[in-house]
Structure 1
Amino acid sequence: MRLTALPAFQDNYIWALQTPDDRAVFVDPGEAGPVLEAAAQGMQPAAVLLTHHHDDHIGGVAELRRQWPRLRVFGPVDERIGLEHEQVADGDRVQLTGFDLSVMAVPGHTRSHIAYFGHNHLFCGDMLFSLGCGRMFEGTPAQMLASLKRLAALPPQTWVCCGHEYTLANAVFARHVDPTNAALQRRQQEALDMRSRSRPTVPAVLANELQCNPFLRTGEAVIRDAVAAHLGQFPADEVDVFAGLRRWKDGFRA
């Protein structure tokens, strides 16, 4: 399998997972142009996978359907996705010639957010980012934490394919929370080097995220103590740690 990150808008990525015979599934095409360009260079669209209803993740589908009227589109059960698609839910599988991906319900960023896992790749939309996680627009801290723990339990060598190029900004906050973490320092420098060469910082390896990403480490004393110092009180439990960390990030200015 070949993976390609197609830049869109200011900092989105549309992911293309491609078989050796050039068939590709495209994940979260917020705009059609990058997919059309990839198709012109030889990729043959096999399907579109949607993780959630936000327009920067689904906005290009209508135009793609005009180009390929029989293009299969998979997405969550959500009435806000105003286009015909094959609805999938937790435990379902997307099986196409050359592709087999399982569907995971990961509410938190939105109530109906899903992720796709297969071929050692996780397509997680705006749920999990390198060194960070999505904002809680609709979910609760308990839901978001449970979803992140579910993703964290995938095989350590999983490639984490998220929807935005946020790694450098996330690294600044993560270093503020956990300034002595050597693995995090290395990851920040790696990301700086990649961006200096106009390369994507993702996909990230899950094993590395488990060492560096504070939102995947809310059960560790160093993160709990940092949140306690920021809040001025000791968190009641791990959900409270996560909630405090997410609020801290929401208001953080470097």
Structure 2
Amino acid sequence: MTTGTRWTKEQLKLAFNLYCQLPFGKLHKGNKEIIELAGLIGRTPSALAMKLCNIASLDPAITSSGRKGLSGASDLDREVWDEFNADWDRLALECAHIHEQLRVEKGLPEAKESVDDGLGDIDDFTGETKRVITEQRIRQSFFRRAVLSSYRGCCCMSGLSDSRLLIASHIVPWSKDKENRLNPRNGLCLSALHDKAFDRGLISLDDDFRVILSKDLEQRNEPFVQEFFHPLAGQAITLPERFVPDKAFLARHRDVVFVGHV
């Protein structure tokens, strides 16, 4: 047990990784994920929960809303914060590696990713293919959990809260911006329907986070479109409690993906 000793950089990376994937209201010692990680890194659940609240004090999305987190963040906390924000992809993979190493050291079974990517059991693959698929699942899991937790598990346009029908949608497509493919500020929590419409450029958002419909959708008079899309025009989305969409990403979506009013 390392209670009373300084936090290592590896411990802080795992703490920040978890912070990104939990709703702000669940940063408490009774959370089972906090309890599990605390045991893995040799900290008490109370100490880890306190560290997560220290991290929250560095989060502009939290402090700008009037919430303060918990003061006392260290220089190393800030360093890890800056590292994550500079390279989400590397840190997500690094944290997964650290996490798995600790599990092996403690004789625990391998952690399983819950992302459904249609590829079946990872044990069906070997060598380089297996590594690539494993890393892909780590990335997908991190991004999905970070985005959905920030939006409190609800579609920001429709309010749908069934996780089976929710997508962590990229504003700038995954393939178009490697540096920001895991950046939660490049994500929206959308229903499968609205995700598809956003991905195909039939809807977008302006800089005030209001929904814009394409000319095609505006002119369609089918009852379904009138019920599920027309009421969205000009309506502001429900903003996340953290990781508010970057307006630069929204501008790129409007310029590159959105079919607009042509």
**TM over 0.5: same fold?**
no
Larger Rg: 2
Output the TM-score relative to the length of structure 2.
Answer: 0.28
Higher-RCO chain (CA-CA 8 Å, sequence separation at least 6): 2
Greater fraction of residues in strand: 1
Output the TM-score relative to the length of structure 1.
Answer: 0.29
